[in-house]
Chains A and B, each alone.
Chain A
């Protein structure tokens, strides 16, 4: 008998294709939205985690200025004393540091033949590539003799290469940066977008003295990145750097630093924080979608029972027991919810996959989300299939038959 009831339910669903499709649509949308959003959220989370890793976790950055975050104090920028290469040299003496990479940055227009591009010129030393996790795709990096001399050489990023030279090999080509002509000696391996979405490959590296003397005419440097000796904690590294620099800059005991040492783990924390806020937001939107989907299911189930009151009356009159009517409606709800849920899972994963490809983030399906969304929609489907069905099964057949 139960199989007959199941068959009755399937027949009823088949007979009312439009109604069945609409009911399922609600479930499909709810489930698909949740799965797509959470999957994409997880993917971007992983993507952020990966870019944080690419920053290098054992790297500290020293910058002049007292505060690392928040608005600068009035006149503060003027008052800070910049670092010079002598500060960087002093840091090299610290045993806790494996590498010291002073940099100075400037926006300049770079010209090659008829093409030109405005990009960030970074004055760097041979330590720069290692500390910042770059590799050379073609040509070579700076050698140590170029760290001290203001050689007219440069290394370019992939974006600059594409703009100025197309797909041609840039090594050996000449560039003009400001008044300086220089030879391209290397091309950096592309890194892609950074943690904040900036194009990391849009840069030109030159020996730091070349930038200081020939482009800026100043001996200050913007920042010093240091790689810690393996096994040294970033706290200890920061402590020793601070001690040395406070001494060099003659900062009185108890006075605040006029520079700051930032740990990239802090940046990672900020990024992870932002990302978890985003994921939370996406999840709330997804939860609302699921709720809306659920209300859709509820609506259509209620409408379906109301619309079918007469049918229920007929069934009761010709001898159906209340239990049989209830079972039939319940089976209909279960079948719709399951089929809708399965389609929703497929659609949701498909959307997430497409979005992952488009946004270049990892595709990260979460089993628990799939199960949760599926279970929730099934529950709603069955619940809101059940209560109207129970109402239907308890109808007075005379009343039900009179129903228009």
Chain B
């Protein structure tokens, strides 16, 4: 997909002049300071930046976990910055998938049940749910591990379960917050290849925060944050690939 072609696709995520301010007066922190950002369907974006640069706030805002203090957020062309808690929960449920640094699987709960969880909240019937969850686990290469507890799985496998969970709900976007932060280099690259494959073959838009250049190299586009603003935004020059 060339840059020119992707420009013609409709924006999926559009932040317009977004500010996010914590605290007030002397203690005021502007985590996002008039940030503008457009992410189109099918993109694979890596967000980097030093601590406190606003990249996590940007992720939380995009992920509808947080609300901008001012500015507009259009998701798939619809303004969502003013939605309440439950409306945002519904959007997360139906359109977003999350992958966290700490995996965030439910303990003492089998891989299959973990993957089923978002489908339960979607109100899907049990039989369909199990089928979908199995398919998602198969997609991340964990057939035969459905009944394993997170404690019986390696870090890489746990992150795969988390990806399967994000995937099971058939999301438009997967938001990955330092998905390889807790993994060794070998497993990190495996996880990145998996994400890259999901982006390429299934057309899932991926937005990822990372600290590591070689991880960011799996994306197609690299956004650098500093002081609550986007410092640079460019295609990844030397793209790592599976």
Q: Which A residues are closer than 8 A to B by beta carbons? A: 1, 4, 8, 11, 15-16, 310-311, 313-324, 397-398, 401
Contacts and interface: CB of A to CB of B under 8 A. Distances in A.
Given A397-B65, A398-B65, A398-B66, A318 B108 contact: no
Interface in B86-140: 86, 89-90, 92-94, 96, 98, 100, 104-109, 113, 117-118, 120-123
Contacts of B96: 319
Given A4-B123, A15-B108, A318 B86 contact: no
19 contacts: A11-B109, A11-B113, A15-B108, A15-B109, A311-B107, A314-B106, A317-B63, A317-B65, A317-B92, A318-B92, A318-B98, A319-B90, A319-B94, A320-B93, A320-B121, A321-B85, A321-B86, A397-B65, A398-B66
Contact of B89 (A11, A16, A311, A321): A321
Contact of A322 (B86, B100, B105, B122): B86
Contacts of A8: 120
Contacts of B121: 315, 318-321, 324
A6 to B, nearest CB: 11
Residue of B65, B93, B118 ringed by the most chain A CB atoms within 10 A: B65
B104 A310 contact: yes
Contact of B106 (A1, A311, A397, A398): A311
A401 B117 contact: no
A318 B117 contact: yes
Contact of B93 (A16, A313, A319, A397): A319
A15 B109 CA distance: 7
Interface string B58-73: 0010010110000000
B55 interface: no
Contact of B120 (A4, A16, A314, A397): A4
A11 B117 CA distance: 12
B86 A319 contact: no
Contact of B108 (A16, A317, A323, A401): A16
Contacts of A323: 86
A322 B108 contact: no
A16 B108 CA distance: 8
Interface in B137-179: 165, 169
Contacts of B108: 15-16
B80 to A, nearest CB: 14
A357 B199 CA distance: 74
A144 B48 CA distance: 116
A398 B60 contact: yes
Contacts of A318: 92-93, 98, 117-118, 121, 165, 169
A317 B98 contact: yes
B99 to A, nearest CB: 11
Nearest to A313: B104
A323 B121 CA distance: 11
Nearest to A404: B102
The 5 closest A-B CB pairs, nearest first, are: A319-B93, A15-B108, A318-B118, A319-B92, A321-B86
Given A11-B113, A398-B66, A320 B89 contact: yes
B118 A401 contact: no
Nearest to A5: B120
A7 to B, nearest CB: 8
Contacts of B169: 318-319
Nearest to A393: B85
Contacts of A11: 109, 113
